[in-house]
Amino acid sequence: MVTRVKRFPVHGWTGVGLVIVFWTLNWSLTGLRTQWAFFPLWVGFCLTVDALVFWRTGTSLFFRNRWKYVGLFIASAPVWWLFELANWRLQNWQYIGAESFSTLQFWFWATLNFTTVIPAVFGSAELVRSFLPDKVRGPIIRPTIAVTVGFFVTGWAMLALMIAWPGIFFPFIWFSLYFLLEPINIWLGHRTLVEWTKSGNWQPVISLWLGVLMTAFFWEMWNYLSFPKWVYHVPWGNWFHIFEMPMLGYGGYLPFALELFALYHLLAGFWQGKQTEYVVKLPEK
């Protein structure tokens, strides 16, 4: 049930201000390097979305635990560098303008900007969740031995195929980690999505999917007129671009959101213990 508070939080107005200022600067300073604008722009997005969640529900990532909210930014950069590592093999995306930076400068700005990935996706997922019913029925997936071992083997097979034949199996970058990490989290007793799918409730999954698509729209839109920017080079499906991203590429964001969820809760399980709360506010099981 949505319980809307009367006032929009102060940190939300701060976020709106950051978005207006740095979106304007990022797109208006044509031909100039605006790598410094990406981080405050996305901090503004994160704060705005979080405030909208609080305004609609009376709770949010920021208000529930501010230190844990900061921790999302800290965990985000190393998590995204895993995908950059995979891209050294795949070469599916390239940063136009990176050549104008030294290696140290590139790593600094890239790492700073990568810190916003997880809080943006999880905040958007909570916002989407506030519009959904508590239960969205779907297939029942239980954490049986057959399912967990099947997931684990599938993850390794996808990873091997991607490395061996990247020109064909490059999409597996967005699937393999989830199939590997979900059973590991189950076996370790960490938080997992299967705690909902085992009863056929797919609301958390749908929230993550719609939340990451919302975030992806702004990622790709704000990137389009930025400098530096990323562009895509994929061996197949490279047609009907929406901004720089081929339309089929947006489908990769769906399993990517699940990978972020699994990666974060793997780290949180080690750091905070098995019974750590879910970072995203989820419905009753």
Arithmetic mean of pLDDT, 22-28: 94
Average pLDDT of the segment spanning 29-43: 90
Tell whether 284 is covered by a domain.
Answer: no
CA pair distance 142, 200, nearest whole angstrom: 9
What's the domain range around 99?
10-272
How remote is the C-alpha of 68 from its chain's centroid?
16
Q: Kindly report, residue by residue over 118-154, the tens digit of the pLDDT.
A: 999 999 999 999 999 999 999 999 999 999 999 999 9
Dihedral sign from CA coordinates of 276, 120, 124, 11: positive
Q: How far apart are the first and last CA of the chain?
A: 15
Q: How many CB atoms lie within 10 A of CB 87?
A: 15
What pLDDT is attached to residue 280? 62
Query: In this model, does residue 214 exceed pLDDT 70?
Result: yes
For residue 103, give both structure tokens. Answer: 């290696």
Task: Please give the tally of structural domains in the chain.
Answer: 1
* pLDDT tens-place string over residues 75-90: 999 999 999 999 999 9
pLDDT for position 30: 73
- 32 domain-assigned: yes
Give a yes or no: residue 285 inside a domain.
no
Within a domain: 179: yes
Task: Give the distance, in angstroms, between the CA of residue 204 and the centroid of all CA atoms in the same chain.
Answer: 14
Closest C-alpha among 255, 90, 263 to residue 190: 263
Q: Got the DSSP string for 234-264?
A: -SS---SEETTEEGGGGGGHHHHHHHHHHHH
Domain presence at residue 281: no
